[in-house]
Amino acid sequence: MTYLVANWKSHSNNTQSLIWLKEMEELLPTTPSNLKVIICLPFTDLPEFNRHLDLQKTPFFVGAQTVSQYPDGKHTGDITAQMLSELVTYCVVGHSERRSFNKETCQEVAQQTKLLLESNITPIICVDTPYLDEQIKELFVQNITFDHCIFAYEPISAIGSGQAETPINVGKVAAKIALLTNENTTILYGGSVSPENVLSFTELPGINGVLVGTSSLDPNTFSKLIKTI
Ligand code: PGA
């Protein structure tokens, strides 16, 4: 199984997300069964997007882009894993933009991961080399078992820069993640993935797919990615 995860970040309101989906369905009436397409949307788009997927029987999965580090309770404005459990099967945690703009720490990401797993949502844990060891240590502190987790190696220098990491380095970091997690872990690569370079990552041993930001926003480019894989 190959994973293709779209991370829309803070793009697309409800109306725009439905237009995107309609265009995708026209461009790509079927999705290959060996490809798992996961669209990580803004919270506000989730209910309607889900409804439309159900109606059209489009075989995409839906994810969120972050989650509260707390369970339900007195945390004004937070969206908890329990709330998301009716809406998504996946959730990105620890994206470098949240680590940098929202000051999320490895401990918080480990707490989010634990709460997601308790709500039967698969966490997609983003990591980069400067804090890879610390992040995995914090996950062990929370007694996380990795068989229901996905890791995404996302070097900060490659995100949104048009300069993807070299497949050789991606392979090395994937091997390190596999070693540190002691499991047959699902590992993705993310950072300036395009239809032109995607196969150099998806065909690497130890890499199970890609996480894409910019290339997921335009239905033409995203459908090209799917066809290429
Ligand atoms: P990019 O973003 O594909 O635009 O580099 C990837 C990401 O931030 O997850």
Which tens digit of pLDDT belongs to each residue from 21-33? 999 999 988 888 8
More confident residue, 119 or 184: 119
- The neighbour count for residue 162, using CB atoms within 10 Å, is 9
Ligand 1 neighbours by CB, cut-off 6 Å: 7, 154, 159-160, 190-193, 211-215
Q: Which atom of ligand 1 is nearest to the CA of 191?
A: 5
For the stretch 126-185, pLDDT in tens is 999 999 999 999 999 999 999 999 999 999 999 999 999 999 999 999 999 999 998 789
Distance CA 184, CA 127 (A): 17
Region 3-15 average pLDDT? 98
Q: Which of 45, 37, 53 is nearest to 17 (CA)?
A: 45
Amino acid identity for residue 36 in this structure: K
Catalytic residue, candidates 97, 108, 138, 154: 154
**pTM reported for the whole predicted model:** 0.97
Work out whether strand 61-64 and strand 90-93 pair parallel, antiparallel, or are unpaired: parallel
For the stretch 48-102, pLDDT in tens is 999 999 998 889 999 999 999 999 999 999 999 999 999 999 999 999 999 999 9
pLDDT of residue 180: 96
